[in-house]
Amino acid sequence: MRRLSGASSRRFYLGATLLALVVLFSGCANNGPQDFLNYQEGTNAQMADDLWDITILIAAVIFVIVEGLLVYALIRFRHKPGREAAQFHGNTKLEIILTLVPAVILIGLLIPSIKTIFDLARTPEGALEITVTARQFWWQYDYDDFGFATANELHIPVGQPVHLTLKGADVIHSYWVPRLSGTQDVIPGRNNELTFTAEEPGRYMGQCKEFCGLSHANMRLIVFAHAPADFQTWVAEQQKPASAPSSDVAGGQKLFLEGVCVNCHAIQGTDAAATTAPDLTHLASRETFAGATFKLSDANLAEWLRNPPAMKPGSLMPDYGLSEDDITSLVAYLMSLE
Ligand code: CUA
């Protein structure tokens, strides 16, 4: 292999360093919707962040000391002509210090870690109970206290703790809304729990954080935090059965109830009552669909009905080969479900 001359090897290392810096800094955004380092919302997120702050501070101090000593030793004791390195074996005093100091640091970190774990696991009084079922590749929310179900978009009141019971219907998923809480795995056959509180109204983006199949990256979610009165209004709307279809969309409803849709979906107030796919009773009140990945619009919904796996690889809803006329009727009906 031809060796690089001094100048080209310097250019090579400069280029490689710049490239590494570009890759490093491209990860630094202060306004990403899931950036949580500067945006903790509510007590649970704050508790986790406090623990992170202590840990990163200690780690940073250790890093600076260790790297500083390393660089110092490299320069101070570098090879010089005619000088031989000191020859010795072992240093009991130093070894005892180097064992005790990390042990003390680790025990010091253990205390706040255990305290935080127990604090986070506690369910506060008066929490809103919601059961979350994770499926490939969407989230089902059952509002146990209010008797209705919805999908992907979680609505909660501000200031009230929310206690999620997480159930897995197929493979392992993980529930994560970075600004509200740390993650919690969702494991089939076991109920995991997660508690958080939103202090400010707003929308909080989240996603599945455990690789769960082809559309893992399309398994998103949104948490909407409302003022308590607005939350009650939303609940009252969701509790209603679907309104009777107007004559324009009656054809779409007939297709829905007599075709394949009814095998998996529920629409309260009709005969559709299956629960393996999202409850569509108030579909049109949502901003998104299919794992909160696509904006809900006539065009996107039509695209979906044409071939779901083409939009979301691995989707359990297959391409049913629907005609364009049927798709138009179904979209009109579904978009009327407010
Ligand atoms: Cu569900 Cu990743």
pLDDT above 90 for 42: no
Task: Compare 85 and 126 and report the one with higher pLDDT.
Answer: 126
Q: What is the mean pLDDT of residues 315-337?
A: 95
The Cα 292–Cα 151 span in angstroms is 9
pLDDT above 70 for 230: yes
Q: What is the mean pLDDT of residues 52-73?
A: 95
SS3 category, 305:
helix
Q: State what percent of residues in the chain have pLDDT above 90.
A: 79
CA neighbor of 265 nearest in space, from 257, 276, 254, 255: 276
What is the whole-number distance in angstroms between the Cα of residue 108 and the centre of ligand 1?
Answer: 35
Ligand 1 first shell, C-beta below 6 A: 134, 137, 173, 208, 210-212, 216, 219
Question: What's the pLDDT at 139?
Answer: 97
What is the whole-number distance in angstroms between the Cα of residue 139 and the centre of ligand 1?
Answer: 10
Question: What's the pLDDT at 4?
Answer: 61
The Cα 39–Cα 22 span in angstroms is 25
Ligand 1: atom nearest CA of 172 is 1
What is the whole-number distance in angstroms between the Cα of residue 140 and the centre of ligand 1?
Answer: 13
Which residues, other chains included, contact 56 with Cβ-Cβ below 8 Å and sequence gap of 6+?
A: none
pLDDT above 80 for 53: yes
296-311 pLDDT, tens digit per residue, is 999 999 999 999 999 9
Q: Are 191 and 123 in contact (CB under 8 A)?
A: no
Residue 95 per-residue DSSP state:
H
Ligand 1: atom nearest CA of 173 is 1
Q: Are 315 and 137 in contact (CB under 8 A)?
A: yes
Task: Compare 7 and 5 and report the one with higher pLDDT.
Answer: 7
Ligand 1: atom nearest CA of 212 is 2
Alpha helices, DSSP H, located in the chain: 6-25, 42-76, 92-121, 228-239, 250-258, 298-306, 308-311, 324-334
**112-115, long-range: CB < 8 A, 24+ apart:** 112/50, 112/51, 112/54, 113/51
Task: Compare 305 and 78 and report the one with higher pLDDT.
Answer: 305
pLDDT above 80 for 313: yes
Cα atoms in the 13 Å half-sphere on the side-chain side of 166: 20
pLDDT above 70 for 1: no
Q: What does the DSSP assignment read for 238-278?
A: HHSPPPPPPTTTHHHHHHHHHSSGGGT-B-TTSS-B--SS-
Separate counts of helices (H) and strands (E) for the chain: 8, 12
Q: What is the mean pLDDT of residues 59-69?
A: 96
pLDDT above 70 for 3: no
181-222 pLDDT, tens digit per residue, is 989 999 999 999 999 999 999 999 999 999 999 999 999 999
143-188 pLDDT, tens digit per residue, is 999 999 999 999 999 999 999 999 999 999 999 999 999 899 999 9
Question: What's the pLDDT at 125?
Answer: 87
The residue contributing the CA closest to ligand 1 atom 1 is 173
Q: State what percent of residues in the chain have pLDDT above 70.
A: 99
What is the whole-number distance in angstroms between the Cα of residue 248 and the centre of ligand 1?
Answer: 38
Single-letter amino acid, residue 217: A
SS3 category, 221:
strand
pTM: 0.84
What is the whole-number distance in angstroms between the Cα of residue 213 and the centre of ligand 1?
Answer: 7
